[in-house]
Each structure stands twice: as C-alpha cells, then as structure tokens.
C-alpha cells in the first residue's frame, strides 16, 4: 500500500488506483471510457490528461523535482493565496502555499455518464502562518471525461473579508511555442511582467515570441490555444484574468527544471490576479472553474 500523507477519507472506485509516482510520491491514476488522468496527492496536482484516442494535453518537465517540500514543474499547479511572487516578500515561494502540501482525498466516484470525479481539500492550521495570517480551506474537484473539469472553492472562515489570488497554472504540451497563438484576446489590456508591468492592449491573436509573461485582465470566459492543426478550448468561470508564459531560450536554459524543454510547452494560466484579485467576504467563498478540451490533430 502506497503511504499517503494527508488523509484518504473514502473508498476508491475501480476507475481510480493509487500508484507510486516519481520520487515515491503517491499518484492517483484515473482511467475510464472517456480519458486517462494522473494526479499527485502532493499539491492535488494534475500532471496528465489524455482524452481517449488523443494525445496528452499537458506537459510535465523531464527535469523536474519530485520530492516533499518542492513544487512539481508542469501539469496544472494550484496557486493560492497569491499568484507569482508575494509582493514585498521575495523569501516566500512563488504562487502561494498549497502547491507543496499533501491534500486530503475526500471522495471519489463514478458518475452516471462514466466520468470520474475526485474531491480534495486542504486547510491551514492554527495558528495561521506568518506568511499568510488568515485561515482558509480549499476544496478542489477534478472531473475526468472527454473534458477535464477542475473546480476550486476558496472558503474564508474569518470574520473579516480577505484579499487573495488564485489560479490554475496550466502547462500545455505543444509542437512549437513560436507557432502557437491564443485567440479571443484581441482588444484586451495586459501587463507585461518582463517590463515592469507596463500596460498595453493586445492586437489580434496573442503569440509566444521569446520570453513572454503577459497578464491579461478581464478576459472573456472562453479562450482557444491554437497549436498547428490542434485547438485547445479553455473555459473559465469565476476567473477573470489569464497569464500567458513561455520562458524562451535564454531564461529556459537558465532554469534547471526546464533547460532545452522550453520548446515543448506554453502556459495559459487561468487566474484571479493583479487587477482581478479576489475579495472574499467574511464567512464567504469563491468558486473558480476551468474546463479543458481539444479538437483536431493529435
């Protein structure tokens, strides 16, 4: 039996099995009539989604670290309570506190249409950490079918509102970043994070040219990533910004977890960040939803 830090609080259906993943980390593998999907309990981190008869939508680094206390490079990291660097705190990890935590597995079930749904949770302990002096509870459901659906609920048990950011930091496997584009962003304002957050308005489809970190504000609910003959549909609900990122050759080569593999992926990150950060009322919650599907050549 693979040891699971956190708690397995349910029986697993036949479409879900526990395996020993890289670095000995527990890995849930889902296989049903619609698709296959792999999820590490470490960070509740989806690392693979392969629709039946198709290629994997997600990229996972061949140079990544798989160990407790370190984030996994690739797949779909969960970002909370900040996205990117914590302002004024360079000593804190990028993208928040939950990427390296063992999440609880609350439930796992086969739905009537053959899809598989797994629910995870994580919360900070008492007293709250100095890095984030607020209590929180996150609940994540991952539904595996022809479409990958991820719903993240951020619950605020405090008696005061909190300001926070969340996001799905999705790495898509592509043939060539330079040939990819993201549609539906024409006329949308973005902040160029490589140029001191200078602001500009996108003209036409967004393309990945060299090192790129563009944070688009107030985006439409559906984006499309065009990768040659393949089109990946990105649907967002309760998420109002999107970050497009590829490190390019120089920054990629300098990153030991990426190196020359920068040519294999682009990130289209569904977020609530910067101008679109969340204010969650006292005793309230916010739900962010992401759906991913593909059409065209595999």
Contacts 24+ apart (CB under 8 A), 36-41: 36/144, 37/116, 37/142, 37/144, 37/148, 39/118, 39/142, 40/72, 41/4, 41/5, 41/6, 41/102, 41/103, 41/105, 41/120
Q: For residues 17 and 183, what is the distance between their CA atoms, to the nearest angstrom?
A: 37
Cα distance between residue 100 and residue 281, in whole Å? 26
SS3 of 77, please?
coil
Count of CB atoms within 10 A of residue 262's CB?
Answer: 19
Whether the Cβ atoms of residue 66 and residue 81 lie closer than 8 Å to each other: no
Element (H, E) at 253: helix 248-254
pLDDT tops 80 at residue 128: no
Q: Taking Cα atoms as reference points, which of 6, 31, 228 lies closest to residue 116? A: 31
Residue 1 in this model has a pLDDT that exceeds 70 = no
| Contact status, residue 174 vs residue 296, Cβ threshold 8 Å | no
Average pLDDT estimate for 221-250: 97
Task: Report the alpha-carbon distance of residue 234 to residue 52 in Å, rounded.
Answer: 18
The CATH number fitting domain 16-296, selected from 1.25.10.10, 2.40.30.10, 1.10.10.10, 2.70.98.10: 2.70.98.10
Q: In this structure, what token pair is assigned to residue 263?
A: 């040519």
> Percentage helix, strand, coil, to 5, in the chain?
10, 45, 45
Give the integer Cα–Cα distance in Å for 183 and 189: 14
Q: Is the pLDDT of residue 223 over 80?
A: yes
pLDDT digits (tens, 9 = 90+) for 72-121: 999 999 999 999 888 878 788 889 999 999 999 999 999 999 999 999 99
Query: Which three-class secondary structure state does DSSP give residue 138?
Result: strand
Decide: helix, strand or coil at residue 261: helix
Which run of H or E residues covers position 249? helix 248-254
CB 39 within 8 A of CB 47: yes
Task: Report residue 171's pLDDT band, with 50, 70 and 90 as the boundaries.
Answer: very high
* 12-16 mean pLDDT: 95
């Amino acid at each position: 039996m693979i040891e699971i830090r956190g708690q397995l609080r349910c029986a697993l259906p036949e479409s879900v099995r526990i395996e020993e993943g890289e670095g000995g980390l527990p890995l849930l593998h889902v296989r049903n009539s619609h698709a296959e999907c792999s999820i590490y309990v470490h960070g509740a981190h989806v690392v693979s989604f392969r629709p039946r008869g198709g290629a994997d939508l997600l990229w996972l680094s061949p140079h990544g670290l798989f160990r407790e206390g370190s984030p996994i490079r690739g797949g779909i990291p969960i970002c909370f309570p900040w996205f990117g660097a914590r302002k004024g705190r360079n000593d804190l990890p990028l993208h928040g506190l939950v990427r390296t935590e063992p999440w609880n597995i609350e439930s796992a079930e086969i739905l009537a249409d053959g899809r598989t749904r797994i629910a995870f949770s994580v919360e900070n302990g008492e007293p709250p950490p100095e890095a984030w002096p607020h209590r929180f509870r996150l609940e994540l459901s991952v539904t595996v079918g022809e479409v990958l659906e991820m719903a993240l609920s951020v619950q605020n048990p405090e008696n005061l509102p909190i300001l926070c950011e969340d996001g799905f930091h999705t790495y898509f496997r592509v043939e060539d970043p330079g040939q990819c584009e993201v549609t539906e962003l024409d006329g949308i304002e973005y902040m160029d994070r490589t140029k001191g957050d200078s602001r500009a308005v996108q003209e036409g489809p967004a393309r990945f040219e060299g090192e790129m970190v563009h944070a688009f504000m107030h985006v439409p609910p559906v984006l499309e990533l065009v990768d040659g003959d393949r089109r990946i549909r990105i649907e967002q609900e309760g998420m109002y910004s999107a970050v497009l990122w590829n490190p390019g050759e120089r920054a990629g080569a300098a990153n030991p977890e990426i190196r020359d593999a920068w040519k294999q992926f682009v990130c289209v990150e569904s977020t609530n960040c910067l101008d679109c950060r969340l204010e969650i009322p006292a005793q309230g919650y916010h739900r962010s939803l992401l759906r991913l599907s593909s059409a065209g050549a595999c």
